[in-house]
Amino acid sequence: MNRMDTSHAPLRVGLLGYGLAGSVFHAPLIATTPGLALDTVVTSDPERQRHAREAGGAGGPVRTLSSADELFAEADRLDLVVVATPNRTHVRLAHQALDAGLPVVVDKPLAATAAEARELAAKAEAAGLLLVPFQNRRWDNDFLTLRSLLAEDALGEVHRFESRFERWRPRPKGGWRESGDPVEVGGLLYDLGSHLVDQALTLFGPAASVYAESDVRRAGAEADDDTFIAITHESGVRSHLWMSATAAQLGPRFRVLGSRAAYVKYGLDPQEGALREGARPAEGVRWGVEPESAWGTLGALDEVRRVPTLDGDYPAFYDAVAAALREGTPPPVTAHEAAATLQVLETARSFTRARTL
């Protein structure tokens, strides 16, 4: 099959996993992306199978299978595979997809180690297949707004970037994401840290050194639930990144300090909440809109102004994936970028004092 076919037939997508990532993020975005059709969902859970069939997609009914092996046995039916399964399975399933001759999108983290990510990247490149890590938070409203401000040089020379994903969950919920077993690749460092580090590296370039503090604070918790990472970038910017389930009061999502001004933004992008509630992106309807009351501020001391937050744009990820498959345009995220993020996460996990990468 010609994966770069420019015909108008929708590209058929197989989705592995229908938990939080699969049902809330991937399935709705795939189903509403022009040129993509959600063809198959793989989950062994009967209730999730029913939900997937009922949710359907613009391309017609969605069929369900119970195992990845069943899907790969019919690889010729598909044009793209999306891996949205537990972290421990990402590398194995990505290899299976590439071995089947299928382009693949893999939810974050792409792998447990940078070496595994680079191995996957080399395999995909040798086969001429697309391998795209899912980093939807590059299309968060606050991140898009900050990128725009930096492009306009609105802050002057940036010297510190502060970024937080904080929650108040004093009791562990359990499950693989909070497991202390290293095989599960759980904990906030690899969960929220994958987003925070990716955003920092995207904005300010490669890391030169890393310092980290990581704790397990809640009774009964097994994996890190309160972690801080400090990155010194080769550009000279310092990124201070917090991820926590133990924050009874939340800090600003962003506080970015520059030589002329600072940008401060509270609150989370509304797209995840909208998707969880069943809202879907639609042609001609604004998506990811934030009320003026949630806008951030730009300026110094008392001389600040509210900055309109750009609309969030998670649909842009799968639009770019479709374009890369059909037209050969660059992918929205690369496996080498994921490897750079994983190198920082590995370094942060291994010690609590600054070291050169």
Whole-number Å distance between alpha carbons of 349 and 355: 12
Question: What's the CATH number where 196 sits?
Answer: 3.30.360.10
Domain assignment of residue 327, yes or no: no
Question: Do 33 and 119 lie in a common domain?
Answer: yes
Question: What's the chain's length in residues?
Answer: 357
Domain assignment of residue 69, yes or no: yes
Domain end among 76, 110, 134: 134
Question: Do 59 and 153 lie in a common domain?
Answer: no
Across 5-33, average pLDDT: 90
Question: Do 31 and 78 lie in a common domain?
Answer: yes
Question: What's the CATH number where 55 sits?
Answer: 3.40.50.720
Apex 37 CA angle, 32 and 39, nearest 5: 130
Question: Do 152 and 299 lie in a common domain?
Answer: yes
Domain end among 119, 134, 149: 134
Sheet harboring 262-265: ordered strands across? 303-307, 296-300, 262-265, 254-258, 158-166, 238-244, 226-233, 207-215, 355-356
pLDDT value at 50 more than 90: yes
Question: Do 169 and 285 lie in a common domain?
Answer: yes
pLDDT value at 75 more than 80: yes
Question: Do 23 and 90 lie in a common domain?
Answer: yes
| pLDDT at res. 357 | 65
Q: What is the pLDDT of residues 127-139, one digit of tens each?
A: 999 999 999 999 9
pLDDT value at 266 more than 90: yes
Query: How much is the mean pLDDT over the chain?
Result: 94
Return the residue matching tokens 């997609």: 57
Find out whether 299 and 265 touch, Cβ atoms under 8 Å: no
pLDDT value at 113 more than 90: yes
Question: Do 170 and 210 lie in a common domain?
Answer: yes
Residue 265, class by beta-carbon neighbours within 10 Å (0-12 exposed, 13-18 middle, 19+ buried)? buried
Residue 158's nearest CA partner among 209, 267, 233 is 233
Question: Do 213 and 252 lie in a common domain?
Answer: yes
| pLDDT at res. 68 | 98
Q: What secondary structure, in 3-state letters, does the chain show?
A: CCCCCCCCCCEEEEEECCCHHHHHHHHHHHHCCCCEEEEEEECCCHHHHHHHHHHCECCECCEEECCHHHHHCCHHHCCEEEECCCHHHHHHHHHHHHHCCCCEEEECCCCCCHHHHHHHHHHHHHHCCCEEEECHHHHCHHHHHHHHHHHCCCCCCEEEEEEEEECECCCCCCCHHHCCCHHHCCCHHHHHHHHHHHHHHHHHCCEEEEEEEEECCCCCCCCCCEEEEEEEECCCCEEEEEEECECCCCCCCEEEEECCCEEEECCCCCHHHHHHCCCCCCCCCCCCCCCHHHCEEEEECCEEEEECCCCCCCHHHHHHHHHHHHHCCCCCCCHHHHHHHHHHHHHHHHCCCCEEC
Q: What is the pLDDT of residues 324-344, one digit of tens each?
A: 999 999 999 999 999 999 999
Question: Do 117 and 207 lie in a common domain?
Answer: no
Minimum mean pLDDT range among 43-57, 185-199, 246-260, 313-327? 43-57
Domain assignment of residue 35, yes or no: yes
| pLDDT at res. 180 | 86
pLDDT value at 94 more than 60: yes
Across 80-86, average pLDDT: 98
Question: Do 205 and 294 lie in a common domain?
Answer: yes
Domain end among 116, 134, 152: 134
Domain assignment of residue 227, yes or no: yes
Across 273-293, average pLDDT: 94
pLDDT value at 20 more than 70: yes
Question: Do 297 and 152 lie in a common domain?
Answer: yes
Q: How many domains does the chain fold into?
A: 2
Find out whether 156 and 258 touch, Cβ atoms under 8 Å: yes
Higher pLDDT, 5 or 339: 339
Domain assignment of residue 240, yes or no: yes
Domain assignment of residue 167, yes or no: yes
Find out whether 209 and 356 touch, Cβ atoms under 8 Å: yes
Minimum mean pLDDT range among 1-10, 111-120, 124-133, 256-265? 1-10
Question: Do 111 and 147 lie in a common domain?
Answer: no
pLDDT value at 4 more than 50: no
Confidence class for position 116, pLDDT limits 50, 70, 90: very high
Domain assignment of residue 242, yes or no: yes
Residues ≥6 apart with Cβ < 8 Å to 2: none
pTM listed for this prediction:
0.93
Higher pLDDT, 168 or 352: 168
Whole-number Å distance between alpha carbons of 103 and 5: 13
| pLDDT at res. 1 | 32
Minimum mean pLDDT range among 57-61, 148-152, 261-265? 57-61
Domain range for 101 is: 11-134
Count other Cβ atoms within 10 Å, centred on residue 157.
12
Domain assignment of residue 321, yes or no: no
The tokens describing 266, both together, are 């509270």
pLDDT value at 177 more than 90: no
